[in-house]
Amino acid sequence: MQVVDLIQTKRDNGELTQEEIDSFLQAFVKGEVPDSQTSALLMAIYFNGLTDRELLNWTESESRLSRQVNLSDLPGPKIGLQSTGGVGNKTRLIVGPLVAAAGVTVPMIVGRRLAYTGGSLDKIESVPGFKTQMTAQEFKALLQTAGCGLIGTSDELAPADKKLRPLCNTTATAENVPLIVASALSKEIAEGTDGFVMDVKTGSGALTPKITDARRLAQMAVSVGKRLDKKVVALITDMDQPLGNAVGHALEIMEAIETMRGSGPEDLVELCLELSSRMVCLAYPDRTMESAKDQLFKLLNDGTALQKFRRMVEAQG
Amino acid sequence: MQVVDLIQTKRDNGELTQEEIDSFLQAFVKGEVPDSQTSALLMAIYFNGLTDRELLNWTESESRLSRQVNLSDLPGPKIGLQSTGGVGNKTRLIVGPLVAAAGVTVPMIVGRRLAYTGGSLDKIESVPGFKTQMTAQEFKALLQTAGCGLIGTSDELAPADKKLRPLCNTTATAENVPLIVASALSKEIAEGTDGFVMDVKTGSGALTPKITDARRLAQMAVSVGKRLDKKVVALITDMDQPLGNAVGHALEIMEAIETMRGSGPEDLVELCLELSSRMVCLAYPDRTMESAKDQLFKLLNDGTALQKFRRMVEAQG
ipTM for the assembly: 0.91
Residues on chain B touching A45 (C-beta within 8 angstroms): none
Residue A52 to residue A17: CA distance in whole angstroms: 12
- Option in A4, A34, A43 nearest B40 (CB): A43
Residue type, B261: R
Task: Write down the pLDDT at residue A241.
Answer: 67
Query: What's the pLDDT tens digit per position in A143-180?
Result: 999 999 999 999 999 999 999 999 999 999 998 999 99
Return the number of other C-beta atoms located less than 10 Å from residue B300's C-beta: 25
Mutate to test the interface with A, among B11, B28, B43, B169 (most CBs of A within 10 A): B43
Count CB neighbours of A66 within 10 A. 25
A35 to chain B, any CB pair closer than 8 A? The answer is: yes
Q: B251-256 long-range contacts, Cβ below 8 Å, gap at least 24? A: B252/B88, B252/B90, B252/B93, B252/B118, B252/B123, B253/B90, B253/B93, B253/B123, B253/B124, B253/B126, B253/B127, B255/B90, B256/B90, B256/B93, B256/B94, B256/B309
Q: Does A37 touch chain B (CB under 8 A)?
A: yes
Among the partner-chain residues A40, A167, A172, the one whose CB lies closest to the CB of B171 is A40
Alpha carbons B312 and B127: distance in angstroms, whole number: 12
pLDDT digits (tens, 9 = 90+) for A129-152: 888 899 999 999 999 999 999 999
Contacts with B44 from chain A: Cβ below 8 Å: 43, 172
Residue A112: predicted pLDDT? 73
Buried b (16+ CB within 10 A) or exposed e, A163-187: bbbebbbbbbbbbbbbbbbbbbbbb
B37 contact residues in A (CB cutoff 8 A):
39, 170-171
| Segments in chain B forming alpha helices (H) | 3-11, 18-29, 35-48, 52-64, 91-101, 120-124, 136-146, 159-170, 177-191, 211-227, 249-260, 266-283, 289-301, 304-315
Kindly report the pTM of this predicted structure: 0.92
- How far apart CA A39 and CA B36 sit, in angstroms, is 6
The Cα A194–Cα A235 span in angstroms is 18
B250 to chain A, any CB pair closer than 8 A? The answer is: no
* Contact (CB<8Å) B40/A37: no
Contact A236, A218 (CB under 8 A): yes
Q: Which residues of A touch B5 (CB under 8 A)?
A: 172
Residues B261-311: tens digit of each pLDDT: 999 999 899 999 999 999 999 999 999 999 999 999 999 999 999 999 999
Residues of B in Cβ contact (< 8 Å) with A46: 11
Distance, CA of A149 to CA of A317 (rounded, Å) = 12
- Which residues does B173 contact at the CB level (< 8 Å), separation at least 6? A40, B39, B42, B43, B45, B46, B167, B179
Partner-chain contact B36 A170, CB within 8 Å: yes
- Taking CA–CA distances from B170, the nearest residue in chain A reads A4
Taking the CA of residue A3 and the nearest CA in chain B, the distance in Å comes to 8
Supply the pLDDT for residue B116: 56
- Closest CA in chain B for residue A170: B4
Q: Please report the pLDDT score of residue A56 as a whole number.
A: 96
B-interface mutation test, from A6, A43, A210, most B Cβ less than 10 A away: A43
Residues in B closer than 8 angstroms to A169, CB to CB, are 4
Is A46 in Cβ contact with B11 (below 8 Å)? yes
Per CB-CB distance under 8 Å, the chain A contacts of B3 are: 170
Judge whether residue A121 has pLDDT over 80.
Answer: no
Q: What is the pLDDT of residue B86?
A: 58
Contacts of B40 in chain A (CB under 8 A): 39-40, 42-43, 171-173
Instruction: Quote the pLDDT of residue B114.
Output: 60
Q: Which residue among A5, A40, A46 places its CB closest to the CB of B39?
A: A40
Phi, psi angle pair for B191, to nearest 5°: -75, -20
Low-confidence ranges of chain B (pLDDT < 70): 86-89, 113-119, 240-242, 246-247
Chain A to chain B, count of Cβ pairs less than 8 Å apart? 72
| pLDDT computed for residue A118 by the predictor | 60
**Could you tell me which residues are beta bridge partners of residue B196?**
B80, B232
Tens of pLDDT, residues A18-35: 999 999 999 999 999 999
SS3 category, A68: coil
- Nearest chain B residue (CA) to A115: B4
* Confidence at residue B155, expressed as pLDDT on a 0 to 100 scale: 94
* Closest by Cβ to B34, choosing from A3, A35, A42: A35
How many Å apart are CA A39 and CA B37, to the nearest integer?
7
Stretch among A66-75, A164-173, A234-243 having the lowest mean pLDDT:
A234-243
A43 and chain B: CB distance < 8 Å anywhere?
A: yes
Q: What is the CA B93 to chain-centroid distance, rounded? A: 12
In eight-state DSSP terms, residue B68 is: P
- CA-nearest residue to B43 within chain A is A40
Buried b / exposed e across B109-138, counting CB within 10 Å, b at 16+? bbbbbbbebbbbbbbbbebeebbbebebee
Is there a contact between A205 and A230 (Cβ–Cβ < 8 Å)? no
Residue B89 is predicted with a pLDDT of: 64
Tell me, what's the pLDDT at A249?
Answer: 79
Residue A27, chain B, CB below 8 Å: the answer is no
**Distance of alpha carbon A9 from alpha carbon A187, whole angstroms:** 27
B3, B5, B35 member nearest A36 (Cβ): B35
Q: Do B46 and A171 touch (CB under 8 A)?
A: no
Residues of B in contact with A38 (CB under 8 A): 36
Lowest mean pLDDT of A107-116, A258-267, B221-230, B252-261, name the range. Answer: A107-116
In this prediction, residue A252 carries a pLDDT of 84
Asked if residues A300 and A272 have their Cβ atoms less than 8 Å apart, the reply is: yes
Across residues A64-88, what is the average pLDDT?
Answer: 88
User: What residue type is assigned to position B238 of the chain?
Assistant: D
| Per-residue pLDDT tens digits for A77-106 | 999 999 887 555 688 899 999 999 999 999
Q: Contacts of residue A7 in chain B, CB cutoff 8 Å? A: 171-172
Q: Is B257 helix (H, G, I), strand (E, B) or coil?
A: helix
Give the count of beta carbons closer than 10 Å to the beta carbon of residue A13: 11
Do B37 and A37 lie within an 8 Å CB cutoff? no
- In the sheet with B79-83, reading across from the earlier edge strand, the strands are B79-83, B195-202, B231-238
Between B290 and A127, the more confident residue is B290
pLDDT at res. A207: 85
